[in-house]
């Protein structure tokens, strides 16, 4: 496999986003001085994204889905066709700093590296919305809404629970070994958390480099296609998938079951009927979830608690600040 970067951009009806943000991606790739290619996997767009790319960026490889497949499958299509060792997955609404790619690529010699990502800031306000991810197991469930941000003297490497696939670089051989993003999570949400956690369980690390900066407007594409209630239900369903697939420590599995019983018993009191819709959708896929769980159990070498201890080694530093990010699924 050739040394370099395959930049992979899933796209759906994103012509105006590509017009606006693709130049920053290309500039960052060129500034890295690393061999690269750009792949756009168009997920059955109904605008003229494909013709725009053909006219203005004929050197970009475009793959067209005949029908809308959702984020995980669209990414997997691109991953399989990528020719370089590292795959940089980017939303079509992301703007990169000029040194973003260079900083991420500087990590490739680190042993067992699975993924590396940077800090993500809101496109409008400039406020940081994603940093390093803590990953906390609270009342039987993982919460992935806590970010950590180094202050003062910043070192280069911090362990992170996962890197958002918004602008994350992955080792292609490890992506393929994991069979890519689990398409069970289609059309979106939790697939990037799941793949990073499965990698951790195999002893492959994810790093956060706070020096690398990207800008993003959350839910630009999803918000056009789905109502907020539907986003909540899909995200909550996928959160069930994540826990049912990946929890392996007996005490944590028990806590998750007790939490589920408690929520099922009480959610109606606060009229959260979307919770029951999400649970129903998750239970319909339970046989497939268990099948995928069995596959992962064969390769697992780290416990849940061991993974969390890696993250604690980063956030226990005195120069770390914690901040919460509100997600619809939590």
Q: If you average pLDDT over every residue of the chain, what do you get? A: 93
Most confident range (mean pLDDT) of 102-106, 268-272, 326-330 is 102-106
Q: Look at the block and give the residue holding tokens 């339970």.
A: 286
At residue 328, the pLDDT reads: 39
Pairing of strands 61-64, 36-42: parallel
CA distances from 312 to 156, 175, 229, 255 (A): 16, 25, 34, 21
Identify the structural domains of the chain with CATH numbers, from first to last: 2-117+152-196+205-214 (3.90.550.10)
Burial of 298 (0-12, 13-18, 19+ CB in 10 A): exposed
In contact, 77 and 41? CB cutoff 8 Å: yes
pLDDT tens, residue by residue, 174-213: 999 999 999 999 999 999 999 999 999 999 999 999 999 9
Dig out the tokens for 175 from the structure. 């992506």
Burial of 179 (0-12, 13-18, 19+ CB in 10 A): middle
CB atoms within 10 A of CB 303: 14
Pairing of strands 132-133, 320-324: unpaired
Pairing of strands 113-122, 167-171: antiparallel
pLDDT tens, residue by residue, 211-255: 999 999 876 665 555 678 899 999 999 999 999 999 999 999 999
pLDDT tens, residue by residue, 13-35: 999 999 999 999 999 999 999 99
DSSP 17-83: HHHHHHHHHHHHHHHHT--EEEEEEE-S-SSSHHHHHHHH-TTSEEEE-SS---HHHHHHHHHHH--
At residue 157, the pLDDT reads: 83
Tell me how far apart the alpha carbons of residues 28 and 40 are, in angstroms, rounded to a whole number.
Answer: 17
**pTM score:** 0.94
């Amino acid at each position: 496999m050739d040394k370099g970067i395959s930049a992979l951009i899933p796209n759906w009806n994103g012509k105006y986003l590509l017009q606006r943000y693709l130049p920053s991606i290309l500039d960052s790739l060129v500034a890295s001085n690393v061999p690269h290619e750009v792949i756009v996997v168009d997920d059955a767009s109904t605008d003229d994204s494909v013709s725009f790319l053909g006219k203005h960026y004929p050197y970009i490889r475009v793959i067209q889905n005949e029908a809308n497949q959702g984020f995980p499958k669209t990414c997997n299509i691109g991953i399989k066709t990528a020719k370089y060792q590292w795959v940089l997955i980017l939303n079509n609404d992301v703007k990169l700093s000029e040194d973003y790619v260079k900083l991420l690529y500087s990590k490739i010699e680190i042993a067992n590296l699975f993924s590396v990502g940077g800090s993500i800031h809101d496109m409008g306000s400039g406020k940081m919305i994603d940093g390093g991810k803590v990953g906390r197991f609270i009342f039987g469930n993982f919460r992935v809404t806590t970010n950590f941000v180094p202050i003062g003297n910043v070192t280069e490497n911090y362990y992170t629970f996962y890197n958002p696939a918004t602008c994350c670089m992955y080792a292609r051989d490890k992506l393929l070994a994991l069979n890519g993003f689990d398409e069970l999570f289609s059309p979106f949400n939790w697939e990037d958390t799941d793949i990073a956690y499965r990698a951790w369980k195999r002893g492959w690390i994810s790093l956060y480099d706070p020096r690398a900066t990207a800008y993003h407007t959350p839910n630009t594409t999803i918000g056009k296609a789905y109502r907020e209630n539907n986003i909540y239900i899909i995200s909550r369903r996928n959160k069930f998938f994540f826990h049912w697939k990946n929890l392996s420590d007996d005490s944590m599995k028990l806590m998750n079951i007790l939490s589920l019983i408690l929520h099922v018993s009480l959610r109606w009191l606060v009229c959260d009927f979307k919770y029951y819709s999400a649970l129903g959708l998750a239970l319909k896929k339970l046989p497939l979830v268990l099948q995928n769980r069995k596959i992962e159990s064969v390769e697992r070498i780290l416990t849940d608690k061991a993974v969390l201890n890696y993250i604690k080694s980063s956030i226990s530093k005195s120069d770390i600040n914690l901040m919460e990010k509100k997600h619809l699924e939590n």
